[in-house]
Amino acid sequence: MAKLTLQEWLMRAEGDRRFMENVRAIRRIPTRPGDFSGYPAWVHPSLKNVLAARGISQLYSHQAKAVDLVRKGLSVVLVTPTASGKTLCYNLPVLQKILEEPETRALYLFPTKALAQDQMHEVHGLIGELKADIKTYTYDGDTPDDARQAIRRQGHVVVTNPDMLHAGILPHHTKWQKLFANLQYVVIDELHVYRGVFGSHVTNVLRRLVRICRFYGRDPVFVCCSATVANPQEHAERLLERPVTLIAESGAPTAAKTFILYNPPIVNRELGIRQSALTPVRKMAAELIENDVQTIVFATSRLNVEVLTKYLKDRFAKGKSVDTQFVTGYRGGYLPNLRRQIEAGLRRREVMGVVTTNALELGIDIGDLEAAILCGYPGSIASTWQQAGRAGRRTGQSLALLIARSSPLDQFIVENPDYFFSRSPEFCRVNPDNLLILLHHIKSAAFELPFEKGERFGGENLEELLDYLEGKGVLHRAGARWHWSAESYPADEVSLRSVNPENVVIVDTTDAGNHRVIAEVDWDSAFTAVHDDAIYMVESQQYHVNKLDLERKTAYVRKVEVDYFTDAMTFTNVRVIDAFAKRPGREIIVEHGEVQVVSKVVGFKKIKFYTSENLGYGDVNLPEKDMHTTSYWFTIPRDRLAGLSYNQAEIIDGLAGLAYSLHHLAAMILMADLHDIDRAIGDKSGEWFVRKDRNWRTITTSPSGKGESTPATDAFDPTIFLFDAYPGGIGFSDLLFERHDVLLNSARQLIRGCPCQCGCPSCVGPTLEVGPRAKEAALAILSLLQE
Amino acid sequence: MSVISRLKRLTGEKSIDGGATRTGDGSRAEEIRALRERIDAVLSRRPEGRKVEAPPSARGRGVPLGDLIPGEETTNEAGAFFCAYRVAGGSSRHGERCIRDLTPLDMGRLAILANDPVLRGLDYRQALFLDTETTGLAGGTGTVAFLIGLGWFEGGGFVTRQLFARDYAEEKAALLGLQGLLRGRQFLVSFNGKAFDANLLAARFIMNRLPDPLIDLPHLDLLHPARRLLSHRLGDRRLGALEAAVLGFEREGDIPGSEIPQRYFDWLRLRDGRLMADVFEHNRLDILSLAALAARLAELLDPDGENARCQPGDRLAAARLFLARACPYDAVRRLVPLIGGSCPETAREAGRELSLVYKRSDQWPAAVAIWEEMVRRDGEDLFALVELAKWCEHRRRDIAQALALTMRACACAGRLSPDDRADLSRRRERLERKLASRTAVK
């Protein structure tokens, strides 16, 4: 059969009624000409020649503006689309300066090792063509020991990641004297990635960087790039703690792209169950790959990557020989070598289909793919555009296809295309003064350089914290200085990316004589991913967890082949400690503040592959986790609820449904993972809360109590909490508090617009879980709230 | 609410608002008392501690440093530090040797050990022996060398100076003190000092905005030559193990190195000299051992190996060191007597090394003689068979003989690793091809 081009495939699809029934929007992003500007006069002729030889005979307007500002010593943040030549905005002024003053040094920070490698190749290429004696190196965990010394001394441009800066460079700054004493530029790409917990850590790493620079008498210029978010400048200024100029107008031309939002059909209207997104993804990916359209599939979880890879591999294994790389998976857990191999395979078009997580979302060079299929909304509009941008970065015609899952977020996005295609509503938030995070970095900073009396670091009272650390015996005060005074290496005590630096290793015991470590998960994920009897997947291989040993931080697993995966169930109890602010209102109390959260994993569901059928339940016995954090909440007086025509159980179901949709929408506004915030229903006293077991929902008093349900509306002022799932909070709740009305409006839009009869995973949660009248009750409660 | 109360709430530490300060102080005093008791217990268990007569009223007030360690406060423009001063007389012993028997050190041999010919032109009295005690082994700018131990030969004896920062604030003065003591010193001797001590001090000089005076000095780090010369004798190559095995020096009641950082942290809080006395002694002995080890390693390079304390294995190791330093003449001089020696294993290894020297210098008859002798002694000597085969193939052009030798090597089934087997079969195939083509031409 003749192969179709992408264009032909699209024409056929658009003529297919059954396909079009599910399409919610087709946008054709037209070709747009560029807005150009000449090179500034100061650009070195040989640099200009090298760029001209690459076809860059003039600059885009935003590039010209950026290089000019950077040249003047101003810090900038660029917010322009993928493939708009952002890298030139920093490479040009940096290389220029090195040509003028060969001692000049620059530090490039990328969020991942892979991106750093990639950027290195690009700079390396430029330098090679310049034929100048400029050295650029990546410095990360993979850098061999014998190369490190040369990098420290000779690297003009050192490309690394924040984790390495935190644990490998700053604590050894004396070895990097040459770099720091001549550091003129710090480049931070993918700035929007540094938000939430990671961003709060990175802000502190930058505080430490600036502090070390000051020791060596430098004050570098920062050049940042970010995906489109609602508050790029504010975010950059919070992260850098200095004024930053925003450049948001792109002068780059745009290639034509067809963007399709696709909502899989409803298969059960009563339950509001849609076809799994995996089904159309699988089908369309297979079709495109079959037609030699090189395709990248983004899945939202490690699990889905493995599941989809398995499907596609099975599919093509039939026709093809055992060429395993024709379609392949790609994600963070794969070994670096394998990843490099896959990237090269993509560039050479030997790999025609790749299924990945957001690991390939950012600027890793994998050549020009033609189609990007997004299996589920990636969680943010910024990510969606970046993932879509992986197809057709330079080619003429490309396709981006977003296939919605039944989650409220996905549904909201595909059912409100205008929301998606218009201005970004997403905010980046950091809370660098979260005390736990701040304290970690004060320790690391003291290790790097003793603190002087009167010095500032973060927004809290530094001297008090230093005295506290002295009391803990890790600092020693000598005169007006606090010195690190312990044997340990504090940077190793904290990981920038996870809440708890402690990991749980996963040991395969299938072969009794040869136990081997197959993976690691962070401490908090361990409770839900590798509890006893969980099914854990690596590379499409299933493992059954025999035992999670928290003391040894090890999960013992063995290989199995079963037709289901597991999904953990947790419950949560919240108590208000302190309200920071309250909205003026008559009856509905809207507040944010500090809370105590107790949570526990109580069991898990077994879910069948392909059908998502629930096969049963299991119990889990793990200790409770107790955490102080910040929360946003609102309380509805019980007598107002009593006026509604629903019984107690239905009202609780309605509240649960409302909380479900608010949780998802809050995650959307914050570009947060659903797990970064959490929800609970209780009353402010913490005395009562709603817990859910298997299939029923009850009001109980004690977190560990079982079955002692006391339906006592008269003692219970229902409160919905949305809280930061990180001790000390990460700055989400005050933003949610500010945007209370937007949240409620969006929830109403979502629930009202949902075509299901009485609740589904896309609005208030699956009917079986929330109860038959949850949807209408949730809407009634919303009306109360918005009166 | 104060930062600390908020923090304690997050971490789950107990604290009561308002009363926090009082309880804080109370627990601090309690903690110090507990620390003192622990220290008293530790010190009384150690012989070093027992030597010092702790005054009965010592609890609560420490013993001044100067009462336990000979030395004095020294000042310079950066401030004050404590400098301990000791001389080990020429007749005092360190292990098997008297100090005076360690010298003179043969600078030619030290140059070989250091792999730095510059040392040849220097005098052993210009050596500065260096060992530091630090607040940790992790490295990084948060690790401080609080005690810089130095030593040199002077007037028939061995002088040690130990520069002690009694507090972090004294570090700069101690570093300046080190700078001062470097006058007249031309090279460093250390054990693992290249990777550790000198490296750490380089960081400390930068942190204190001082130029690093050590960076350009030639540096004899004994760790690497000691490994080369002594690894056949010892599994454990730390300085302590070397002392016992090759210097005949046993320490008594020595503080384990791993306890040293904590001692210093305790000292910072309590200022009790007894905490540091062990550390000073430990460091002083390390420096003396450095000097003794340098002498001993130089002795192992004795050209004729006449020294009774050299075992054949030592001489083989010495020869190998000379080979590594590209001094084949010195190596040959040590290898020749070993071939006929009583220890068969050493004799074989020496033969092997010697034959390779001959081979590299085109002295084929001498090399072949050794290989043939090796095969005579052991018909399955893989190395000798392969070398002979190569010689036959490439020098004598006797392909048939080369193939015969290769087949013989292939038959040493039990001794072949998979790599050996692969090499041999490649060789065999090549030889067979050559042989076939020659026969064809004929």
Q: What is the pLDDT of residues A308-327, one digit of tens each?
A: 888 888 888 765 555 557 88
Amino acid at residue number A124: H
Q: What is the mean pLDDT of chain A?
A: 86
Mean pLDDT along residues A482-493:
90
d(CA A486, CA B265): 7
Q: Return the CA Rg of chain B.
A: 30
* Residue B51, pLDDT score: 47
Report the residue of chain A nearest B206, measured CA to CA. Answer: A174
Contact B59, B40 (CB under 8 A): yes
d(CA A3, CA A234): 49
Contact A529, A302 (CB under 8 A): no
Q: What are phi and psi of B187, to 5 degrees?
A: -155, 160
3-state class of A167 per DSSP?
helix
Mean pLDDT along residues A379-385:
82
Q: Which residues is B87 bridged to in the sheet?
A: B159
Q: Which residues of B touch A171 (CB under 8 A)?
A: 140-142
Contact A732, A676 (CB under 8 A): yes
* Residue B157, pLDDT score: 93
pLDDT of B135 above 90: yes
pLDDT of B85 above 70: yes
Mean pLDDT along residues A155-177:
94
**Per-residue pLDDT tens over the stretch B20-52:** 343 445 566 776 677 777 767 666 655 544 444
* Residue B311, pLDDT score: 78
Please give the share of chain A, as a percent, with pLDDT higher than 90.
40
Where does residue A85 rank: exposed (0-12), middle (13-18), buried (19+ CB within 10 A)? buried
Please tell me which residue, A700 or B185, carries the higher pLDDT value: B185
Contact A542, A571 (CB under 8 A): no
Nearest to B141 among A174, A436, A473 (CB): A174
Please give the share of chain B, as a percent, with pLDDT higher than 90.
41
Q: Are strands A535-538 and A541-549 parallel, antiparallel or unpaired?
A: antiparallel
pLDDT of A697 above 50: yes
Minimal CA–CA distance to B331: which of B368, B295, B361, B291? B361
**Per-residue pLDDT tens over the stretch A408-454:** 778 888 888 887 887 677 888 889 999 989 999 999 999 999 999 99
Residues A489, B135: C-beta atoms closer than 8 Å: no
Amino acid at residue number A464: E
3-state class of B275 per DSSP?
helix
**Per-residue pLDDT tens over the stretch B309-319:** 677 888 888 88
Q: Which residues of A touch B195 (CB under 8 A)?
A: none
Amino acid at residue number B258: S
* Residue A85, pLDDT score: 84
pLDDT of A497 above 80: no
The alpha-carbon gap from B297 to the nearest alpha carbon of chain A, in Å, equals 28
* Residue A707, pLDDT score: 43
Residues B10, A436: C-beta atoms closer than 8 Å: yes
pTM: predicted TM-score of the whole model, two decimal places: 0.83
* Residue B314, pLDDT score: 84
Give the dihedral sign, CA A702/A708/A710/A711: positive
Give me the total of CB pairs closer than 8 Å, taking one residue from chain A and one from chain B: 89
* Residue B262, pLDDT score: 93
Q: What is the mean pLDDT of chain B?
A: 85
Mean pLDDT along residues A140-154:
87
Nearest to A464 among B2, B9, B269 (CB): B2
Fold of B65-300: Nucleotidyltransferase; domain 5 (3.30.420)
d(CA B175, CA B146): 10
Please tell me which residue, B30 or A307, carries the higher pLDDT value: A307
Minimal CA–CA distance to A107: which of A224, A280, A26? A224
Nearest to A448 among B136, B137, B142 (CB): B142
* Residue A469, pLDDT score: 94
Mean pLDDT along residues B250-279:
91
**Per-residue pLDDT tens over the stretch A59-107:** 999 999 999 999 999 999 999 777 788 889 999 999 999 999 999 999 9
Q: Which residues of A touch B3 (CB under 8 A)?
A: 435, 460-461, 464-465, 468
Tokens 């396709």, residue? A399
Contact A391, A369 (CB under 8 A): yes
**Per-residue pLDDT tens over the stretch A2-22:** 788 888 999 999 999 999 999
Range in A177-181, B18-22, B97-101 the model is least confident about: B18-22
Mean pLDDT along residues A121-136:
88
pLDDT of A642 above 90: no
Contact A263, A414 (CB under 8 A): yes
d(CA A228, CA B69): 67
Q: What secondary structure does DSSP assign to A311-370, as a single string?
A: HHHHHHHHHS-S-TTSEEEE-TTS-HHHHHHHHHHHHTT---EEEE-GGGTSS-----BS
Q: Give, in order, the Cα–Cα distances in Å from A682 to each of A482, A508, A598.
A: 45, 41, 12
> CB-based contact (8 Å) between A463 and chain B?
no
> CB-based contact (8 Å) between A146 and chain B?
no
Q: Which segments of A583-685 are extended strands (E)?
A: 589-608, 614-619, 625-635, 677-682
Minimal CA–CA distance to B69: which of B277, B255, B266, B260? B277
Contact A28, A418 (CB under 8 A): no
Amino acid at residue number A637: P
Q: What secondary structure does DSSP assign to A22-91, as a single string?
A: HEEEEEEE--B---EEPPPTTS-HHHHHHHHHTT--SEEHHHHHHHHHHHTT--EEE---TTS-HHHHHH
The domain ranges of chain B are 65-300, 327-441
Mean pLDDT along residues A699-717:
53
Contact A66, A189 (CB under 8 A): no
* Residue A306, pLDDT score: 85
Residues A447, B140: C-beta atoms closer than 8 Å: yes
In the structure, what pLDDT confidence band is assigned to residue A303 with cuts at 50, 70 and 90? Answer: confident
3-state class of A590 per DSSP?
strand
Sheet with B71-76, strands from edge to edge, namely B71-76, B79-88, B157-164, B145-154, B127-134, B187-190, B219-221
Contact A436, A728 (CB under 8 A): yes
> What is the largest distance, in Å, between two alpha-carbon atoms of chain A?
83
d(CA A756, CA A274): 10
Q: Which residues is A36 bridged to in the sheet?
A: A60
pLDDT of B188 above 90: yes
> CB-based contact (8 Å) between A487 and chain B?
yes
Q: Which residues of B touch A (CB under 8 A)?
A: 2-4, 6-7, 9-12, 24, 28, 135-142, 144, 167-169, 202-203, 206-207, 261-262, 265, 268-269
* Residue A703, pLDDT score: 46
> CB-based contact (8 Å) between A728 and chain B?
yes
d(CA B39, CA B45): 10
> What is the largest distance, in Å, between two alpha-carbon atoms of chain B?
108
* Residue in A460, A467, A485, A629 to test binding to B, most B beta-carbons within 10 Å: A485
Lookup: tokens for B348: 């074989």
Q: Are B65-300 and B327-441 the same fold in CATH?
A: no
In the structure, what pLDDT confidence band is assigned to residue A393 with cuts at 50, 70 and 90? Answer: low
Q: Which residues of A touch B24 (CB under 8 A)?
A: 471
Q: What is the DSSP letter of A249?
A: -
Lookup: tokens for B197: 């001590």
Contact A650, A771 (CB under 8 A): yes
Contact A1, A291 (CB under 8 A): no
* Residue A523, pLDDT score: 77
d(CA B260, CA A344): 51
Minimal CA–CA distance to A714: which of A688, A738, A737, A732? A688
In the structure, what pLDDT confidence band is assigned to residue A714 with cuts at 50, 70 and 90? Answer: low
pLDDT of A301 above 50: yes
Q: What secondary structure does DSSP assign to B156-184, as a single string?
A: TEEEEEEEE-SSGGGHHHHHHHHHHHTTT
Looking from the CA of A682 toward its CB, the CA atoms found within 13 Å total 26
Q: Are strands A295-299 and A371-375 parallel, antiparallel or unpaired?
A: parallel
d(CA A103, CA B257): 42
Lookup: tokens for A173: 């700054």
Give the dihedral sign, CA A717/A722/A728/A733: negative
Report the residue of chain B nearest A492, measured CA to CA. Answer: B138
d(CA A540, CA A531): 19
pLDDT of B178 above 50: yes
* Residue A503, pLDDT score: 78
Q: Are strands A696-700 and A689-693 parallel, antiparallel or unpaired?
A: antiparallel
d(CA A573, CA A670): 23
Range in A22-26, A628-632, B379-383 the model is least confident about: B379-383
Q: Which residues of B touch A626 (CB under 8 A)?
A: 12
Residues A484, B265: C-beta atoms closer than 8 Å: no
Q: Which residues is A247 bridged to in the sheet?
A: A78
Residues B265, A476: C-beta atoms closer than 8 Å: yes
* Residue B356, pLDDT score: 92
Q: Which residues of A touch B141 (CB under 8 A)?
A: 171-174, 447-449
3-state class of A703 per DSSP?
coil
Q: Which residues of A touch B267 (CB under 8 A)?
A: none
* Residue B19, pLDDT score: 37
d(CA B257, CA A244): 50
Please tell me which residue, B281 or A266, carries the higher pLDDT value: B281
Nearest to A172 among B140, B169, B261 (CB): B140
* Residue B305, pLDDT score: 52
* Residue B60, pLDDT score: 54
Tokens 């002068």, residue? A251
Residues B169, A478: C-beta atoms closer than 8 Å: yes
* Residue B18, pLDDT score: 39
* Residue A768, pLDDT score: 62
Contact B213, B180 (CB under 8 A): no
Range in A2-11, A388-397, A558-567 the model is least confident about: A388-397
> CB-based contact (8 Å) between A441 and chain B?
no
Lookup: tokens for A460: 């809290």
* Residue A686, pLDDT score: 67
Lookup: tokens for B319: 């020869």
d(CA B190, CA B170): 24
Q: What secondary structure does DSSP assign to A126-164, as a single string?
A: HHHHHT----EEE-STTS-HHHHHHHHHH-SEEEE-HHH
Q: Which residues is A183 bridged to in the sheet?
A: A105
Q: What secondary structure does DSSP assign to B280-322, as a single string?
A: HHHHHHHHHHHHHHHHHHHHHT-TT--STT--HHHHHHHHHHH
Pick the CATH number of B327-441 from 1.10.260.40, 1.10.357.20, 1.25.40.10, 3.90.1720.10: 1.25.40.10
Report the residue of chain B nearest A171, measured CA to CA. Answer: B140
